[in-house]
């Protein structure tokens, strides 16, 4: 379908990777446009599990170009490991991967800074970042004077740039209480090695995308993180440092909004969150642990247990509007199959008032109480279901209620990690 974007509607890990992999065969180009190695996108093909951090989840489809666009922050050793692991498994990366020379590079000082800053509490709680240097790298990008882009690593003044930034960062880090020794020359040598290895993939991607679109190519955008982690529109400050909602597609890729024809929003049939911050429908009881166990809810990147709770229709109604979402992909329906009763949050109560809009301030979000509607569980294994009509009545009712509360149709339903465990209710996708 011409030009489509896939975005997460919750706090990340909605299974965007699975959906992008499945849709890729209908596209010529797949684009990652924000985030970095904080992302962990899983694609399961039979007994093979691929975990991708930077490389778009389209890479397993031969003949499709995968682009890492300017809005991404790149960790060179991590992407090189991803490339090596794909090559070892027979995936032809060389012809299919293009990394923009405009991406900002994550250096060891960013990771050290992330560690130091994450130790500080915001309102008594740690953001709980992935410690991948994401926030500090984006901060330097916006600060401009101490930033290094991939293209800068091939210029004659790269060594000098590293030396002057290391001098400054060493002072800053010692003030933050981090006594990691940064050795400018060693970092220069190490990163020059990475730059050489990455050279075959480095490309100008912005004109490439404009040319491709004008030539009528089909382009799929792959969001990282989730809309509620968006730096401007999420649960600030418990967010990531990029525009991870639908609004980030254009800024990060360099493709203007007029080209985006369709937006598919991905959501779990329940909710998860990793790291700190308010989570109105969080379950601290046995049911939460049950969902964690059944859904194997442990982080793809950090292995941390994910916090689990009910589907929050207030939050998703908000992120659907924010992202211009046309339809929903509802994932992990198999996980809910084992519960006797399932709740959906239909509204919040804030200071004794019922509200149905997602609050803009984190303090209000901390105070809201979810108003839950209880639906009977279907308690039938749905992992083998392949047509909407074959779902038990309870599961169909649940999907209909989600669509009704969120205000968008359910286009895709997922009943397991595998490619086959997917039902396309909308055949035009
Ligand atoms: P992403 O970051 O949005 O790509 O999602 P992650 O890969 O971090 O997490 C999603 C996890 O759920 C992965 O382990 C997937 O293999 C798995 N998964 C995807 N769809 C389903 C599903 O419908 N049911 C179950 N049980 N697991 C799924
Ligand atoms: P994918 O693409 C889930 C969370 C972190 C932390 C906050 C800030 O796999 O869905 P950061 O390292 O970005 O500064 O951390 O954002 N976070 C994610 N949570 N999925 C992700 O990516 C995430 N990327 C960052 O846990 O709360
Ligand atoms: Mg993930």
pLDDT at 134: 98
Residue 12 CA, ligand 1 centroid: distance in Å: 10
Residue-wise pLDDT tens digits, 109-147: 999 999 988 887 888 899 999 999 999 999 999 999 999
pLDDT at 359 over 90: yes
pLDDT at 299: 85
Q: Is the CB of 42 under 6 A from ligand 1?
A: yes
pLDDT at 301: 77
**Atom 16 of ligand 1, nearest CA residue:** 417
Q: Is the CB of 9 under 6 A from ligand 2?
A: no
Residue 200 CA, ligand 3 centroid: distance in Å: 27
> Rounded to whole angstroms, how far apart are CA atoms 45 and 238?
33
pLDDT at 179 over 80: no
Q: What is the mean pLDDT of residues 350-355?
A: 97
Closest CA to 301 of 49, 52, 34, 31: 52
Residue-wise pLDDT tens digits, 16-41: 999 999 999 999 999 999 999 999 99
Q: Which residues are catalytic?
A: 13, 41
Pocket test residue of 43, 134, 274, 277 for ligand 2, highest count of atoms within 8 A of CB = 274
Residue 303 CA, ligand 1 centroid: distance in Å: 14
Collect all residues with Cβ–Cβ distance below 8 Å to 240 and sequence separation of at least 6.
35, 38, 129, 134, 135, 225, 229, 230, 231, 234
Q: Which residues pair with 41 in a beta bridge?
A: 52
Phi, psi of 123 (to 5 degrees): 55, 40
Q: Is the CB of 129 under 6 A from ligand 2?
A: yes
Q: Residue 143 to residues 68, 146, 185: CA-CA distances in angstroms? A: 22, 7, 24
pLDDT at 35: 98
Q: Is the CB of 19 under 6 A from ligand 1?
A: no
Residue-wise pLDDT tens digits, 151-168: 999 999 999 999 999 999
pLDDT at 1 over 80: no
Give the angle 237-239-241 at the CA atoms, nearest 5°: 100
Q: Is the CB of 71 under 6 A from ligand 1?
A: no
Pocket test residue of 14, 15, 303 for ligand 1, highest count of atoms within 8 A of CB = 15
Closest CA to 323 of 1, 2, 5: 5
DSSP 82: H
Residue 97 CA, ligand 1 centroid: distance in Å: 24
Q: Residue 384 to residues 337, 391, 395, 402, 422: CA-CA distances in angstroms? A: 12, 10, 14, 22, 9
> Rounded to whole angstroms, how far apart are CA atoms 416 and 18?
10
Residue 149 CA, ligand 3 centroid: distance in Å: 25
Q: Is the CB of 98 under 6 A from ligand 1?
A: no
**Atom 16 of ligand 2, nearest CA residue:** 240
């Amino acid at each position: 379908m011409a030009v489509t974007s896939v975005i997460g509607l919750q706090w990340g890990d909605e299974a965007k990777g699975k959906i992008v992999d499945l849709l890729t065969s209908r596209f010529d180009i797949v684009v990652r446009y924000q985030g970095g190695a904080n992302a962990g996108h899983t694609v399961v093909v039979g007994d093979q599990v691929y975990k991708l951090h930077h490389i778009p989840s389209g890479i397993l489809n031969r003949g499709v170009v995968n682009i890492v666009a300017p809005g991404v922050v790149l960790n060179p050793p991590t992407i090189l490991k991803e490339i090596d692991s794909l090559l070892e498994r027979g995936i032809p990366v060389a012809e299919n991967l293009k990394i923009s020379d405009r991406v900002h590079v994550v250096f060891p000082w960013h990771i050290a800074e992330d560690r130091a800053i994450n130790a500080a509490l915001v309102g008594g709680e740690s953001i709980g970042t992935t410690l991948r240097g994401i926030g500090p790298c984006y901060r330097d990008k916006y600060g401009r004077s101490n930033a290094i882009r991939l293209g800068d690593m091939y210029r004659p003044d790269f060594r000098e740039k590293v030396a002057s930034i290391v001098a400054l960062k060493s002072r800053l880090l010692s003030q933050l209480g981090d006594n990691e020794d940064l050795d400018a020359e060693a970092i220069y040598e190490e990163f020059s090695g990475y730059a050489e290895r990455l050279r075959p993939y480095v490309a100008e991607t912005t004109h490439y995308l404009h040319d491709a679109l004008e030539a009528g190519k089909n382009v799929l955008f792959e969001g990282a993180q989730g809309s509620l982690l968006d730096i401007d529109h999420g649960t600030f400050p418990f967010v990531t440092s990029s525009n991870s909602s639908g609004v980030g597609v254009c800024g990060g890729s360099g493709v203007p909004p007029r080209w985006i024809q369709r937006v598919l929003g991905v959501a779990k049939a329940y909710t998860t969150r990793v790291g700190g911050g308010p989570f109105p429908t969080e379950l601290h009881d046995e049911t939460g642990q049950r969902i964690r166990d059944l859904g194997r809810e442990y982080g793809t990147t950090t292995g941390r247990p994910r916090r689990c709770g009910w589907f929050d229709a207030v939050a998703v109604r908000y992120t659907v509007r924010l992202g211009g979402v046309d339809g929903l992909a509802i994932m992990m329906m198999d996980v809910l199959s084992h519960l006797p009763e399932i709740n959906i949050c239909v509204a919040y109560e804030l200071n004794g008032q019922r509200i149905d809009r997602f609050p803009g301030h984190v303090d209000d979000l901390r105070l809201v109480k979810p108003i839950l509607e209880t639906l009977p569980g279907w308690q039938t294994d749905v992992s083998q279901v392949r047509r909407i009509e074959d779902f038990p009545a309870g599961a169909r009712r649940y999907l209909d209620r989600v669509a009704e509360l969120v205000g968008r149709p359910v286009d895709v339903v997922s009943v397991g990690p595998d490619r086959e465990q997917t039902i396309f209710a909308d055949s035009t996708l």
